[in-house]
Chain A
Amino acid sequence: MTAVSLTVNGRSATADVEDRTLLVALLRDTLGLTGTHVGCDTSQCGACVVHVDGVAVKSCTMLAVQANGATVTTIEGLAKGDELHPVQAAFREHHGLQCGFCTPGMIMTAVDMIKRHGGKALDEKTIRHELEGNICRCTGYHNIVKAIEAASAEMAGMAQAAE
């Protein structure tokens, strides 16, 4: 067993884990953060995406011990209290989810995607290409693409207004 210390959603956490424990198992089983899901075990579906030190990571493909000292944000830590992140709000507004299982990973991926593109409004082609690592079986992606388009445009507008 190895002791791991990390910050998750702004709170420090420490746990003794087996060396083989995956980050997603630490989040779900030890810390009780069950919003991050496991959909495929092979790093394909993206239901497990979280942010580690500000970068989107598939938490089913990272060992918990690799996250020692890291700052992790999960879907539970994205909203500020009752105020939804613009991407969360856009998924609801545009019906970008049905069963909700892929949704946390989709949202965490979208937040990272918008950030990596410099916070500018994203077009359909870019969004579809960037969603290569996230699988949804319910929506046919149509409304997910619309939600991310809208959220990126809104965030770009907010950034411009702030300047």
Chain B
Amino acid sequence: MGVEGIGARVLRKEDKRYITGRGRYTDDIGLKDTTYAVFVRSPHAHAKIVSIDTSEALAAPGVVGVLTGADLASDKIGGLICGWMIHSKDGTPMKAGAHPAIAHDRVRHVGDAVAVVIAETRNQARDAAEKVAVEYEELPAVIDLAHAQDEDAEQIHPEAPRNTIFNWSLGDQGAAEAALARAAKVVSLDIVNSRLVPNAMEPRAAIGSYDPAEEHFTLYNTTQNPHVARLVLAAFVGIAPEHKLRVVAPDVGGGFGSKIFIYPEETVCLWASKRIGGRPVKWTADRTEAFLTDAHGRDHVTRAEMAFDADNKAIGLKVKTIANLGAYMSTFSSSIPTYLYATLLSGQYDIPAIYAEVDAVYTNTTPVDAYRGAGRPEATYVIERLMETAAREFGVDPAELRRKNFIRTFPHQTPVIMCYDVGDYDATLDAALKAADYAGFPARKAEAARRGKLRGIGFSCYIEACGIAPSQAVGSLGAGVGLWESAEVRVNPVGTIEVLTGSHSHGQGHETTFAQLVSERLGVPTSSVSIVHGDTDKVQFGMGTYGSRSGAVGMSAILKALEKVEAKAKKIVAHQLEASEDDIIIENGNLKVAGTDKEMPFFQVALAAYTAHNLPAGMEPGLKETSFYDPTNFTFPAGTYICEVEVDPDTGVVEIVQFVAADDFGKIINPMIVEGQVHGGLAQGIGQALLEGCTYDSGGQILTASYMDYCMPRADDLPMFNVMTTETVCPGNPLGMKGCGEAGCIGSTPAVINAITDALGVRELPMPATPQVVWKAAQAARRPMAAE
């Protein structure tokens, strides 16, 4: 590798603007004559809108306009869509209700928009929003997932009886049930995967700007995928055709999935800008608004049963899950508890029979969609809680039970669609065991006990499917889009390079890692390379960043374009140096005739391509190439996480005394950035286990709608992490990469809960395992004999 090529710890090119306060996020953009939008939102979880009186608000100082769902409907602006069709096991299509950007007859969750006020200043819009008088007729709210499908439950959407969107299944029910029937041992668990709020630090924001002369719209937006946003807003919402709508995602302050989706506010800002004559309309969420309207994550209730033979070999798994999708189906909500969840239920294990059944239900809560990991953390939590529980019930070492069941021959076809291409699960387990000094754990536990502390250790051997995804495969499973990626490599006449990518960076460091790939291939310094992304006027099309796909898919597209650039450059050099094209090699920024001292520096080749004074006959001038890359398979990052905790039984406080993460991400471009991705994922996964949890009261009021109520992980909640990687090269893409963005968040949660349950000697523990929860469990575990 070169000093800045693949594998180098290159410091990030993008950092300077962030550390000097010169990042440019959506809310930082100040267009001339901007107006400010503030939404009037429902205080009720479920209600009919009887009337809306906007007259007082319209008369308030500085107000430019007040718009309602009726106005939206009269302008024939379409509703928001869910882009992944799921069919129930009886073959019927999912039962999706309408999702207007502003509610006009009924509100379905606290925070549902009922009107928007546009004013000269933010404060004037806020003041006037309080003067919009909405009369509601309250309806019973459906909040409790366990009773959402009851016969007498209030129906939220007319399309979905019993609030059931679909009842979907995957795998062979007969085989799984037969395995359970003949099993020597069965382990079963009732599992709640708690509801989380993604909480990117930058709140969502949008600026819609309409140019009446050109009949052209521009949207600045906190989005992970500007082209998909444009597609949906053009083709489904009907704002404008794509050539009349530009979407710009400037610096975006974190996403974690929550900024994939097309939300009501984007529609409203664009539409309102036209309605008020073309002045830009800007909306920025405050944090409580983010809690009310950003798509939430997880929220599953699951019953899982795992069958083992007498030798502790897993022979079957049966899972029934109810997934809460909230009040409306968000953009990719239907795919999360289905094809991103049940397809990973084999974990790292050879399980011959698996059957999963998933009911997706509406409730009067904020919509639920992908949050970092998206379905895969839920699957991992099910399998790894089962494995740990099985080991304890069988009286065997939890590491060895997992090892006994590992898949070791590849490719491995699971019973739930996925075909694992490559992996070495023993390697990550061994690396983690060694790093954690597993052999020394009993001594550490005994030492802790002498101090009155309960020490526990927990494992998680996760697998995920990333590099989302082969277009044909996801198309056959119901996806409304292809999931390839595009790239364009533009070599300038002076030899500097711009790479246009459909991937989008919102913290991942693409401006550095993508430049490293160019440096590796062409031998140019990364300072000569600019990465251009996040603007539909610059990049022709792209599918954006989620599902740990920017490396395996996005960089593969860049590589394909680079290969075309290299091929043309070699032709030019061969022509000018009178050599055979096959003899030209690229070394340290020069194109050389192998075995001779004849060479041309890359910048001279670029110049030659543009002067076009001496090109091979018939060659077009210029040096610019495009590629669309469609992966052939998912990628399968996997690893072992070990969490060791110390519990104070008197207070219930859990301290993570060590956390080891051993991951196999395939080839790595920049280890520094990969480690950072793992650290951040671990914090979010640990956050779910110990701190975070979104709760509603029985009437549908969200009880955790600020950072004073929703417990975000802070610096003193977390330890230093011990992270390491092993490597099996992914055969599915030319760079051998698997992806690293979500692993930490997928693998860590069960490791923490397994560690605490080990420390306490209890079977189950709800999340988040707050001091109160842990203290109660510790008290109960102390007195089992007395109770019997």
Q: Do A and B come from one complex?
A: yes
B-binding residues in A (CB < 8 A): 18, 20-21, 25, 28-29, 32-42, 44-45, 47, 74-76, 78-79, 84, 88, 91-93, 95, 97-104, 107, 124, 127-129, 131-132, 134-145
Q: Does B787 contact A (CB under 8 A)?
A: no
Known A45-B201, A139-B679; contact A101-B253, beta-carbon cutoff 8 A: yes
Known A20-B123, A100-B507; contact A137-B684, beta-carbon cutoff 8 A: yes
Q: Is B19 in contact with A138, judged by CB distance below 8 angstroms?
A: no
**Shortest Cβ distance from A57 into chain B, in angstroms?**
16
Query: Of B152-160, B264-272, B706-714, which stretch is located at the interface?
Result: B706-714
Alpha-carbon distance A78/B21, docked complex (angstroms): 9
Q: Is B201 in contact with A84, judged by CB distance below 8 angstroms?
A: no
Residues in B whose Cβ lies below 8 Å from that of A139: 676, 679-680, 683
Alpha-carbon distance A73/B707, docked complex (angstroms): 26
Q: Does B506 contact A (CB under 8 A)?
A: yes
Q: Is B507 in contact with A88, judged by CB distance below 8 angstroms?
A: no
Alpha-carbon distance A131/B718, docked complex (angstroms): 12
CB within 8 A of B201: which of A25, A47, A140? A47
Known A103-B19, A137-B256; contact A40-B508, beta-carbon cutoff 8 A: no
- The proximity string for B residues 1-35 relative to A, scoring 1 for CB distances below 8 Å and 0 otherwise, is 00000000001101111111111110110100000
Residues in A whose Cβ lies below 8 Å from that of B286: 38, 41
Tell me whether chain B's interface is mostly helix, strand or loop, or mixed: loop
Q: Does B45 contact A (CB under 8 A)?
A: no
Q: Is A95 in contact with B12, judged by CB distance below 8 angstroms?
A: yes
Residues in B whose Cβ lies below 8 Å from that of A21: 123
Q: Is B21 in contact with A98, judged by CB distance below 8 angstroms?
A: no
Q: Does B213 contact A (CB under 8 A)?
A: no
Q: Is A98 in contact with B202, judged by CB distance below 8 angstroms?
A: no
CB within 8 A of A138: which of B22, B25, B507, B714? B507
Q: Is B680 in contact with A101, judged by CB distance below 8 angstroms?
A: no
Alpha-carbon distance A97/B253, docked complex (angstroms): 11
14 additional contacts, CB 8 Å, given A95-B672, A100-B251, A101-B201?
A: A20-B123, A34-B21, A35-B20, A35-B21, A76-B20, A78-B20, A84-B20, A95-B11, A97-B15, A134-B714, A137-B201, A139-B680, A140-B680, A140-B744
Alpha-carbon distance A39/B679, docked complex (angstroms): 21
A-binding residues in B (CB < 8 A): 11-12, 14-25, 27-28, 30, 122-123, 199-203, 251-254, 256, 286-288, 506-509, 672-673, 675-676, 679-684, 706-708, 712-716, 718, 720-721, 744
Alpha-carbon distance A100/B17, docked complex (angstroms): 9
| 7 nearest CB pairs, A to B | A35-B21, A101-B253, A100-B18, A99-B507, A140-B683, A75-B21, A44-B707
Q: Is B714 in contact with A132, judged by CB distance below 8 angstroms?
A: yes
Report which residue of B24, B201, B681 has the largest number of chain A beta carbons within 10 angstroms of its beta carbon: B201
Q: Is A136 in contact with B716, judged by CB distance below 8 angstroms?
A: no
Report which residue of A21, A25, A36, A88 has the largest number of chain B beta carbons within 10 angstroms of its beta carbon: A88
Q: Is A42 in contact with B714, judged by CB distance below 8 angstroms?
A: no
Alpha-carbon distance A54/B684, docked complex (angstroms): 34
Q: Which residue of B lies closest to A87 (CB)?
A: B19
Known A42-B707, A76-B21, A138-B254; contact A95-B684, beta-carbon cutoff 8 A: no
**Shortest Cβ distance from A137 into chain B, in angstroms?**
5
Alpha-carbon distance A34/B507, docked complex (angstroms): 18
Alpha-carbon distance A137/B720, docked complex (angstroms): 16
Residues in A whose Cβ lies below 8 Å from that of B715: 127-129, 131-132, 134, 141, 144-145
**Shortest Cβ distance from B188 into chain A, in angstroms?**
34
Residues in B whose Cβ lies below 8 Å from that of A33: 21
Residues in A whose Cβ lies below 8 Å from that of B744: 140
Residues in B whose Cβ lies below 8 Å from that of A131: 714-716
Report which residue of B16, B23, B27, B684 has the largest number of chain A beta carbons within 10 angstroms of its beta carbon: B23
Q: Is B251 in contact with A142, judged by CB distance below 8 angstroms?
A: no
Residues in A whose Cβ lies below 8 Å from that of B712: 44-45, 135, 137
**Shortest Cβ distance from B18 into chain A, in angstroms?**
3
Known A95-B676, A98-B680, A143-B679; contact A136-B201, beta-carbon cutoff 8 A: yes
Tell me whether chain A's interface is mostly helix, strand or loop, or mixed: loop
Q: Could you list 26 A-B pairs, sorted by A, with CB under 8 Å?
A: A20-B123, A29-B30, A32-B30, A34-B25, A34-B28, A35-B22, A38-B286, A39-B202, A40-B287, A41-B288, A45-B712, A98-B254, A98-B509, A99-B507, A124-B720, A131-B714, A132-B714, A134-B715, A135-B707, A137-B254, A137-B680, A137-B684, A138-B680, A140-B713, A140-B721, A141-B714
Q: Is B287 in contact with A42, judged by CB distance below 8 angstroms?
A: yes
Q: Is B716 in contact with A128, judged by CB distance below 8 angstroms?
A: yes
Q: Which residue of A lies closest to B682 (CB)?
A: A140
Residues in A whose Cβ lies below 8 Å from that of B287: 39-42, 45
Q: Is A104 in contact with B684, judged by CB distance below 8 angstroms?
A: no
Q: Is A92 in contact with B19, judged by CB distance below 8 angstroms?
A: yes
**Shortest Cβ distance from A27 into chain B, in angstroms?**
10
CB within 8 A of A104: which of B21, B509, B682, B706? B21
Residues in B whose Cβ lies below 8 Å from that of A104: 18-19, 21
Alpha-carbon distance A88/B17, docked complex (angstroms): 11
Report which residue of A91, A92, A131, A145 has the largest number of chain B beta carbons within 10 angstroms of its beta carbon: A92
Residues in A whose Cβ lies below 8 Å from that of B253: 37, 99-102
Residues in B whose Cβ lies below 8 Å from that of A144: 715
**Shortest Cβ distance from B339 into chain A, in angstroms?**
27
Q: Is B19 in contact with A91, judged by CB distance below 8 angstroms?
A: yes
CB within 8 A of A107: which of B19, B254, B714, B721? B19
Q: Which residue of A lies closest to B681 (CB)?
A: A140
Alpha-carbon distance A93/B251, docked complex (angstroms): 21
Known A99-B252, A137-B200; contact A37-B25, beta-carbon cutoff 8 A: yes
CB within 8 A of A99: which of B506, B679, B681? B506
Q: Which residue of A lies closest to B673 (CB)?
A: A95
Q: Is A79 in contact with B15, judged by CB distance below 8 angstroms?
A: no
Known A75-B20, A137-B256; contact A37-B707, beta-carbon cutoff 8 A: no
**Shortest Cβ distance from B412 into chain A, in angstroms?**
32
Report which residue of A21, A76, A97, A140 has the largest number of chain B beta carbons within 10 angstroms of its beta carbon: A140
Q: Is B254 in contact with A99, judged by CB distance below 8 angstroms?
A: yes
Residues in A whose Cβ lies below 8 Å from that of B252: 99
Known A98-B676, A132-B714; contact A103-B22, beta-carbon cutoff 8 A: no
Alpha-carbon distance A138/B707, docked complex (angstroms): 16
Q: Is A18 in contact with B123, judged by CB distance below 8 angstroms?
A: yes
**Shortest Cβ distance from B687 into chain A, in angstroms?**
9
Q: Is A93 in contact with B721, judged by CB distance below 8 angstroms?
A: no
**Shortest Cβ distance from B466 into chain A, in angstroms?**
18
**Shortest Cβ distance from A94 into chain B, in angstroms?**
9
**Shortest Cβ distance from B284 into chain A, in angstroms?**
8
Residues in B whose Cβ lies below 8 Å from that of A74: 21
Alpha-carbon distance A32/B720, docked complex (angstroms): 37
Alpha-carbon distance A75/B16, docked complex (angstroms): 12
Alpha-carbon distance A18/B676, docked complex (angstroms): 42
Alpha-carbon distance A137/B196, docked complex (angstroms): 13
Q: Which residue of A lies closest to B683 (CB)?
A: A140
Alpha-carbon distance A120/B122, docked complex (angstroms): 43
Alpha-carbon distance A32/B24, docked complex (angstroms): 12
Alpha-carbon distance A144/B714, docked complex (angstroms): 12
Residues in B whose Cβ lies below 8 Å from that of A102: 201, 253
Residues in B whose Cβ lies below 8 Å from that of A95: 11-12, 672-673, 675-676
Alpha-carbon distance A97/B19, docked complex (angstroms): 8
Alpha-carbon distance A38/B721, docked complex (angstroms): 29
Residues in B whose Cβ lies below 8 Å from that of A143: 676, 679
**Shortest Cβ distance from B781 into chain A, in angstroms?**
30
Q: Is A140 in contact with B19, judged by CB distance below 8 angstroms?
A: no
Q: Which residue of B lies closest to A98 (CB)?
A: B507
Residues in B whose Cβ lies below 8 Å from that of A84: 19-20
CB within 8 A of A36: which of B20, B21, B199? B21
Q: Is A98 in contact with B508, judged by CB distance below 8 angstroms?
A: yes
Q: Which residue of A lies closest to B30 (CB)?
A: A32
Known A40-B707, A135-B707, A135-B712; contact A101-B19, beta-carbon cutoff 8 A: no
**Shortest Cβ distance from B199 into chain A, in angstroms?**
6
Q: Is A40 in contact with B15, judged by CB distance below 8 angstroms?
A: no
Alpha-carbon distance A42/B253, docked complex (angstroms): 19
**Shortest Cβ distance from B630 into chain A, in angstroms?**
28
